[in-house]
Structure 1
Amino acid sequence: MNEPITSEIARGLACAQSPTPPHELLVASTAGALADHHADLLAFAWRRRPGQLASPLLDFADLAAADDRLLASLSALTALGTPARDHLQAMLKEPLRPGDMFVMALYSFANSDKTLLDACTALQAVLPELRGACIDALRWAPSSPLLESQIVNLPLQTRLQLVGLRYRDFDGMAEQVFGAMRAVNEPEPDEISSALDMVSRLGRSDLAVAARSFLDHGVEAVRLAAVQTLLSLGDISDAALALDVLLSLARSEDSAVVESAVRCVSLHASERLSDVMDVVKSSETKRLHIKALGWAGRIDAMPILIDYLDDPDLARVAGASLSLITGSDPARDGWMAANQRRPEQERTDDHMPALDEDDALPWPKPEAFRAWWQSSQSRFECARQYFLGGPVAVDWMAKVIAGGPLAWRPLAAEHWQRLTHGPLFPTHLPASAQRAIFPELDRRLTS
């Protein structure tokens, strides 16, 4: 008799004679493969998420569906029990990628597995490339004493960042970390920036005045954080000085600081956009100006942006700004083109292709958008500032946060905070956590 067939018959007889039900034997025989499968799904979903958050073609419903699938894989690993734990433990002996670290750390929190969590913590301490994934697991982890103990023992800067996102889950933790910050005689610049960011995330207008003392700090990132805090939560009397600081930051040698300064002016004082662009000196000035016109909601800039649709290097970023101002969806309104590849992006034998910073943005059809604008422009008034086709107003920003395109929800959250002086809505948290916070938007509308 053929050997494989003999083996199958033997296994079948063993199942028939075993006191364990056949379906449990089947589950046991495939549990390791299922654990591997769901660990891979979870890691893949986590890796894809930044790209989803940058997409103007996906909305909150898409994020919620993707996040629910991510959590379903976590639930499956938990349900598998010991086989899943054994699989993750075995992964510690292999070269780890950030996605693997995220899976193991999140599983540890979800199952209160301190032994596995300690192993993850030890690994990320010696492998810096895994640290970000381990921290992100803290953002996703369900509330528990284990999570609270981990956050409390983090370095001050990281603790400030985490508490700014998770303060609703732990009573008194925000005041504790503010107390720890006050006890530091000479805080590091990163700690100051994180503390100011936490003030913004909590919507603590009473603490925003502290930002004034950092407007002349020697580190640009600290000055930028101070300006953002004052423009979001401070008094109107602070605005002029804060804008002067932004003008100086727009002259920075650091392109990230320049872009943040221009973005801040566009959102908080769009009437000063020309002033800040006049002092920008960068090889990317044209691209930054296109972005800024979209951030500022400038209807009078439509002819400029439409002309850029014919430039292959700038067409996508111009299309994004046009969409941000008008609310026109390129897929829905018929002006999205098939993906294209520019010659300089193609791989050669000697070089890898450069990263495409517009990769998340759709290619536009210039003539199709011109036709859409011709039929739609009568709805818009040149004197008004627009955001996704609506006014920059509290009720419209709340609607965008609750269901709008993922790429633009962080901008809506900044507008909403400036208009309400409330907490900065955390658009990067898991969708389930965001849904739990939506009632705060409604309370602000009715207050």
Structure 2
Amino acid sequence: MAGEAMSQYDPMNAAYGEVFAQYAELAAFLWEQRRIAVKRPDYVREDIANLESRLALQLDGLMTSIDAGWSACEAGLDIGEAGEVFAAACAALRSREMPRIQRAVEAGLVNPLATPGLVSALGWLPAEVVDPWIERFLAGKDMRHKYLGVAACSVRRQDPGDMLTAILQRPDCLQHEELHARALRLIGELRRQDLMAAVVTAENAQSQCVKFWGLWAAIMLGNKRAVENLKAFVFKPGPYQVRAIELAFRVLPVEYARGWISEMASDQALARSVVVATGVLGDPHAVNWLIGKMAEPALARVAGEAFSLITGADLKRLQATQPTPEGWQDGPNDDPADDVVTLDEDEYLPWPDKLKVAALWQRHGQNFMVGQRYFMGRPVSAENLKDGLMNGHQHQRHAAALELALLGEQSRFANTRARVSL
């Protein structure tokens, strides 16, 4: 028996198997790196593109032998992580083999933590590969498949046309909270004015998830009066607070927004949110206050980012940073709603040197007009925002895309986390 087993052993197949296993492992690892990178405040488009080139090489390696590549990816599905699902879904969809596609899709849907990898694969691959599947998902009876189709359209900023309308007219779809919420989000991203009635209805939903995305979509469609109903989400820590702040303080009149910020400042639990809101508002009136917050280690880095968002100052380039304060230890981000848990949400932000930043503001502050909103050192304008969208760091690019959509300068809200095209 031992001799028979030895005679069946093929060292070439074993060696090739290891190569394809490495392709699959690296693809999953690099996807996870990219997942973090698109949210990093120190990354620009070129950084993302370089990472994507490395990822594409691993995915192409998997396709040099479709069967061996799929076997390596399928083995990785047992891990149950989003990166492994991404690699498997890419390999399966490119193979065009139905059983493999079904296996990858089910692996991505059965575990909510792995679903982002499946959605990402549908955003990564070219239209000729995924469009037939997106249409099939949208037309399917399984609510999970419909959600997947809507989410794929969301990351691709692709309009499903009447299929989206039909979903919002079906009671069974509206009862599926995740599907309903993602459909509302897509309305706002695509700025589908024809679906305003569905948005208005959702604003009064019992589900907080549906209600938030209904309000978000309403504002994206131009109904700025809905911002008042967004206040509860701005003031309540939770999965919607950051998005609510990002939107509300770009829509509120400056004087009115200052009132909200003052009200938030009375609650110590909202200290960080106040700093974030100040940067979003872009009001130079608050810059001296932000500089003061740079003396508080817990708020220093996010205050520095808010200062840069308003003034356009690159603190690293201007040598206005300092080493990590002695004794400071980053803590984990334990938000269960955040799909990327890093050691600290300010981990990639520089530590500002308060005195040097104050000196910068002393020299240049007179160039800013109180009451005027600023983005990256210039008054908010389409030209300035388009430059930020192309050349800014990832946080700045996201802010610019949202501002442009609210100004009506884009037919759709640009996805700054989509695959980069240089």
**CA 1:202–1:55 in 2, change beyond 3 Å: closer, same or farther?**
same
Q: Deviations over 1:317-351 (max 9, x none)?
A: 1111011111112221112333457555489xxxx
Q: Identity across aligned pairs (percent)?
A: 21
- The 8 Å contact of residues 270 and 296 in structure 1, kept in 2 or not, is answered as no
| Aligned match of 2:151 | 161
Distance 1:411 1:364 in 2: 21
Q: Deviations over 1:62-121 (max 9, x none)?
A: 1122222211221222235443334334445x5443322221111212332333222223
**CA 1:120–1:390 in 2, change beyond 3 Å: closer, same or farther?**
same
Structure 1 residue ranges without an equivalent (≥5): 1-25, 348-352, 436-447
User: Is it true that 1:44 corresponds to 2:29 in the alignment?
Assistant: yes
**CA 1:363–1:394 in 2, change beyond 3 Å: closer, same or farther?**
same
Distance 1:156 1:64 in 2: 30
Structure-to-structure mapping, 1:92-103, within 5 angstroms:
92=77, 94-103=78-87
User: Is it true that 1:216 corresponds to 2:204 in the alignment?
Assistant: yes
- The 8 Å contact of residues 42 and 70 in structure 1, kept in 2 or not, is answered as yes
User: Is it true that 1:323 corresponds to 2:336 in the alignment?
Assistant: no
SS in 2 for 1:217: coil
User: Is it true that 1:296 corresponds to 2:295 in the alignment?
Assistant: no
Q: Deviations over 1:395-435 (max 9, x none)?
A: 22122112211112222111101111621111121113xx6
- Greater CA radius of gyration, 1 or 2? 1
- The 8 Å contact of residues 398 and 416 in structure 2, kept in 1 or not, is answered as yes
User: Is it true that 1:147 corresponds to 2:130 in the alignment?
Assistant: no
| Aligned match of 1:423 | 412
Per mean C-alpha deviation after superposition, the further-off stretch among 147-156 and 128-137 is 147-156
Distance 2:63 2:342 in 1: 40
What is the aligned counterpart of 2:43 among 58, 61, 68? 58
Which residue type is aligned with residue 336 of structure 1? T
What is the aligned counterpart of 1:230 among 211, 218, 234? 218
- The 8 Å contact of residues 203 and 423 in structure 1, kept in 2 or not, is answered as yes
| Aligned match of 2:5 | none
Which residue type is aligned with residue 424 of structure 1? F
| Aligned match of 1:175 | 162
What is the aligned counterpart of 1:265 among 211, 225, 248? 248
Structure-to-structure mapping, 1:15-54, within 5 angstroms:
31-54=16-39
Distance 1:384 1:59 in 2: 27
Distance 2:13 2:220 in 1: 55
Distance 1:431 1:129 in 2: 24
Distance 1:195 1:43 in 2: 28
Task: Kindly report the root-mean-square deviation, in angstroms, between the aligned alpha carbons of the 2 structures.
Answer: 3.1
SS in 1 for 2:418: coil
Which residue type is aligned with residue 162 of structure 1? A
Distance 2:262 2:294 in 1: 23
Q: Deviations over 1:362-405 (max 9, x none)?
A: 22222232233333324322232111112211122122112211
Distance 1:164 1:346 in 2: 32
SS in 2 for 1:129: coil
**CA 1:250–1:82 in 2, change beyond 3 Å: closer, same or farther?**
closer
**CA 1:28–1:81 in 2, change beyond 3 Å: closer, same or farther?**
farther
Count residues in correspondence: 395
| Aligned match of 1:184 | 171
Distance 1:122 1:212 in 2: 34
Calculate the TM-score normalised by the size of structure 2: 0.83
Which residue type is aligned with residue 133 of structure 2? L
Which residue type is aligned with residue 163 of structure 1? C
Shift of 1:279: 4.8
Which residue type is aligned with residue 239 of structure 1? K
Structure-to-structure mapping, 1:44-443, within 5 angstroms:
44-92=29-77, 94-143=78-127, 144=129, 147-148=133-134, 151-152=137-138, 153=140, 154-166=144-156, 168=158, 173-184=160-171, 187-188=174-175, 189-234=177-222, 238-240=223-225, 242-252=226-236, 254-271=237-254, 272-280=256-264, 283-339=268-324, 342-343=327-328, 345=330, 355-420=343-408, 422-432=411-421
Which residue type is aligned with residue 229 of structure 2? V
**CA 1:60–1:323 in 2, change beyond 3 Å: closer, same or farther?**
same
**CA 1:389–1:34 in 2, change beyond 3 Å: closer, same or farther?**
farther
Which residue type is aligned with residue 160 of structure 1? V
Distance 1:150 1:337 in 2: 54
SS in 2 for 1:426: coil
- The 8 Å contact of residues 157 and 190 in structure 1, kept in 2 or not, is answered as yes
| Aligned match of 1:18 | none
Distance 1:311 1:391 in 2: 29
Distance 2:221 2:109 in 1: 36
| Aligned match of 1:12 | none
Shift of 1:133: 1.9
- The 8 Å contact of residues 262 and 273 in structure 1, kept in 2 or not, is answered as no
**CA 1:346–1:317 in 2, change beyond 3 Å: closer, same or farther?**
closer
Distance 2:132 2:193 in 1: 31
Which residue type is aligned with residue 151 of structure 2? Q
Calculate the TM-score normalised by the size of structure 1: 0.78
Which residue type is aligned with residue 415 of structure 2? P
| Aligned match of 2:3 | none
Which residue type is aligned with residue 94 of structure 2? A
**CA 1:342–1:214 in 2, change beyond 3 Å: closer, same or farther?**
farther
Per mean C-alpha deviation after superposition, the further-off stretch among 185-194 and 302-311 is 185-194
- The 8 Å contact of residues 80 and 111 in structure 2, kept in 1 or not, is answered as no
- The 8 Å contact of residues 70 and 92 in structure 2, kept in 1 or not, is answered as no
Shift of 1:161: 2.4
SS in 1 for 2:150: helix
SS in 1 for 2:319: coil
